[in-house]
């Protein structure tokens, strides 16, 4: 597929799959997809598919926050999901994806770190949020955040054994209470066109992207990607679209119980 | 106007200084200091890219490597790359790529190494500012300069160039690193951690623009000094 063709289509407000520039593909979220995880979810955005599992373990708190647990977000871009991914330790792309999701969850205080405290200064729960794209047909960021939040909504605390270690496989009835529920919308720009939710081919042509983790009227984390240059007007326009699209994505996340 | 912990106005940068040619072996180099944050940048290349399968016959690769010295922070940082530094290296590449004429050097690589030797907030921005000067010093053709500064919200106030103390403010601070180009005023780096609404963000970006203007002047002055046989180098 010729990139110039994709760009010229976009200039006419068209896309190869017939969508409008501001239209997401069909979104679906399924939960409880992996039995042994404390919480898990699968998000599909068209043909893009991401699974996220949350595991817990007992750990020591950081010295500067003795009464707080923590989250650790990782993403593994397995070669299964795309011919562009390679085996090996996480590269810059996987690290960036994980950190965009991490910062969105962390900064919005979606998880109350104090609720993860077991014994001040000694023991806290660590929450491992692991992201596995199964099929990359573009827009992994938005799909990953939806899957991560849906998985977090399912999390039930692991039981503690008498010796203070985690009793894996046994859960209490206590759910991980969530504060705000951030949704990340990424707005792309290629040439003069601004669009959302690129498929794999469209992802090959963008100059810039702007991801914003949004809840209510606030932005909690942002990341510009791509080598393009954005004007202040571009950013205002992209943010406006980000807030508009966030509402659509939120409906899907809200439907997850 | 409320004054800040260090007595600065909300739209005031910390004291800056810059030097060119601080790494003699490199093709280009620069040091940039803003307040207590000090960044060194060295440029090697354009040179041949190995392994060869990474070569792009259409343009050069710009490869940035950001690192913090273990002693640059109060609690010793484990040497070597971290997830944070990998991400910063990536966004630094994106922040600088658009101004460098990479098409002139097919199959080549331009390596940019950034070392933070003393840290007090705004290290990625100081690194980008230093790297842009080092690229210019290396004679790499650039369309315009790039400068970066962090803006943010401390309490309810939108302020320019946060210190570590302000970043760690108890009521929570929002940190927004921004890089901008000197001629077109385009934004090439934008990240955010914290909590702002749209209006506050736009206000912060305008303030960042103002800060970058001052940095551009410093960059231009020290680079001109080098090429007019001045005191630098």
Q: Mean pLDDT across the stretch A70-82?
A: 95
DSSP one-letter code for B211: H
Q: What percent of chain A has pLDDT over 90?
A: 95
Whether the upstream peptide bond of residue B32 has omega within 30° of 0, thus cis, is no
Which of helix, strand or coil describes residue A221?
strand
Please give the residue of chain B at the shortest CA–CA distance from A226: B94
What pLDDT is stored for residue A1 in this prediction? 61
- What is the Cα–Cα distance from A193 to A205, expressed in whole angstroms? 11
- What is the Cα–Cα distance from B121 to B163, expressed in whole angstroms? 5
More confident residue, B230 or A152: A152
Please give the residue of chain B at the shortest CA–CA distance from A97: B87
**pLDDT band at A112, cuts 50/70/90?**
very high
Nearest to B62, CA basis, from B146, B122, B118, B150: B146
Nearest to A213, CA basis, from A238, A182, A248: A182
* Helices of type H across B43-179: 83-97, 123-137, 164-167
Q: Are A25 and A18 in contact (CB under 8 A)?
A: no
Q: Which of B84, B189, B198 sits opposite A224 (nearest CB)?
A: B189
What pLDDT is stored for residue A192 in this prediction? 94
Q: Given an 8 Å threshold on Cβ–Cβ distance, is A227 in contact with B176?
A: no
Ordered structural domains, chain B, with CATH: 16-227 (3.30.230.70)
Q: Are A221 and A96 in contact (CB under 8 A)?
A: no
pLDDT (tens digit, 9 = 90+) per residue, A182-237?
Answer: 999 999 999 999 999 999 999 999 999 999 999 999 999 999 999 999 999 999 99
Q: Mean pLDDT across the stretch B157-170?
A: 94
Tell me which residue range forms the domain holding A188. Answer: 3-254
Residues of A with CB under 8 A from a CB of B: 90-92, 95-96, 98-99, 103, 107-108, 210, 212, 217-232, 235-236, 239-240, 243
Q: Mean pLDDT across the stretch B24-33?
A: 96
Contacts of B197 in chain A (CB under 8 A): 217-219
Q: How high does pLDDT run on average in chain A? A: 96
Q: Which of B94, B193, B202 sits opposite A226 (nearest CB)?
A: B94
Q: How high does pLDDT run on average in chain B? A: 95
CATH (domain of A168): 3.30.230.70
Q: Are B110 and B100 in contact (CB under 8 A)?
A: yes
Taking only Cα atoms into account, the Rg of chain A, rounded to an integer number of angstroms, comes to 19
Q: Given an 8 Å threshold on Cβ–Cβ distance, is B209 in contact with A99?
A: no
pLDDT at B1 over 90: no
> Taking every pair of C-alpha atoms in chain B, what is the biggest distance, in angstroms?
57
pLDDT (tens digit, 9 = 90+) per residue, B181-220?
Answer: 999 999 999 999 999 999 999 999 999 999 999 999 999 9
Global pTM? 0.91
What pLDDT is stored for residue B233 in this prediction? 46
Q: Given an 8 Å threshold on Cβ–Cβ distance, is B94 in contact with A230?
A: no
pLDDT (tens digit, 9 = 90+) per residue, A124-181?
Answer: 999 999 999 999 999 999 999 999 999 999 999 999 999 989 999 899 999 998 999 9
Q: Given an 8 Å threshold on Cβ–Cβ distance, is B192 in contact with A221?
A: yes
- What is the Cα–Cα distance from B13 to B37, expressed in whole angstroms? 12
Q: Mean pLDDT across the stretch A70-84?
A: 94
Distances (CA, A) of B90 to A61, A95, A241, B84: 30, 10, 26, 10
pLDDT (tens digit, 9 = 90+) per residue, A12-21?
Answer: 999 999 999 9
Q: How many separate domains does chain A show?
A: 1
- What is the Cα–Cα distance from A189 to A239, expressed in whole angstroms? 12
Mention every residue, 6+ apart, whose C-beta is less than 8 A from residue A80: A134
- What is the Cα–Cα distance from A98 to B106, expressed in whole angstroms? 32
What pLDDT is stored for residue A257 in this prediction? 87
């Amino acid at each position: 597929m010729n990139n110039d063709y994709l760009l010229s289509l976009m200039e006419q407000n068209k896309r190869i799959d017939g969508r409008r520039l501001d239209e997401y593909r069909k979104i679906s979220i399924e939960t409880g997809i992996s039995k042994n995880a404390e919480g898990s979810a699968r998000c599909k955005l068209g043909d893009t598919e991401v699974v996220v599992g949350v595991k817990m373990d007992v750990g020591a708190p950081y010295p500067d926050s003795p009464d707080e647990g923590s989250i650790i977000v990782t993403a593994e871009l397995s070669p299964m999901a795309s011919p562009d991914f390679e085996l090996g330790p996480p590269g810059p792309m996987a690290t960036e994806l994980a950190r965009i999701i991490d910062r969105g969850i962390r900064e919005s205080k979606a998880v109350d770190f104090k609720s993860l405290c077991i014994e001040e200064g000694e023991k806290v729960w660590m929450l491992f949020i692991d992201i596995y794209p199964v099929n990359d047909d573009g827009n992994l960021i938005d799909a990953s955040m939806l899957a991560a939040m849906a998985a977090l909504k399912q999390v039930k605390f692991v039981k503690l054994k008498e010796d203070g270690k985690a009793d894996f496989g046994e859960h209490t009835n206590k759910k991980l209470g969530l504060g705000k529920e951030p949704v990340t919308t990424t707005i792309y720009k290629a040439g003069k066109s601004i669009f959302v939710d690129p498929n794999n081919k469209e992802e090959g042509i963008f100059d810039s992207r702007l991801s914003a983790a949004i809840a209510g009227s606030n932005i909690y984390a942002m990341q510009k990607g791509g080598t393009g240059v954005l004007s202040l007007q571009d950013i205002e326009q992209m943010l406006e679209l980000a807030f508009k699209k966030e509402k659509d994505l939120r409906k899907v996340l809200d439907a997850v119980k | 106007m409320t004054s800040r912990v260090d007595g600065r106005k909300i739209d005031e940068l910390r004291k800056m200084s810059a030097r060119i040619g601080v790494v003699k072996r490199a093709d280009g180099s620069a040091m940039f200091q803003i307040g207590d944050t000090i960044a060194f940048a060295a440029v090697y290349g354009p040179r041949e890219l190995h392994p060869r399968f990474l070569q792009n016959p259409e343009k050069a690769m710009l490869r940035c490597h950001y690192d913090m010295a273990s002693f640059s922070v109060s609690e010793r940082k484990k040497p070597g790359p971290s997830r944070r530094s990998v991400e910063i290296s990536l966004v630094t590449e994106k922040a600088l790529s658009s101004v460098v004429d990479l098409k002139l050097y097919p199959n080549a690589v331009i390596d940019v190494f950034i070392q933070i030797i003393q840290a007090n907030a705004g290290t990625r921005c100081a690194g980008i500012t230093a790297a842009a000067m080092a690229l210019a010093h290396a004679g790499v053709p650039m369309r315009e300069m790039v400068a970066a500064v962090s803006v943010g919200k401390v309490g309810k106030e939108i302020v320019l160039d946060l210190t570590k103390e302000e970043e760690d403010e108890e009521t929570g601070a929002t940190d927004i690193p921004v890089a901008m180009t000197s001629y077109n005023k385009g934004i090439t780096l934008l990240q955010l951690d914290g909590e702002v609404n749209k209006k506050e963000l736009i206000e912060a970006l305008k303030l960042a623009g103002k800060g970058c203007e001052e940095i551009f002047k410093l960059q231009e002055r020290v680079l001109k000094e080098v090429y007019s046989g001045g005191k630098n180098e």
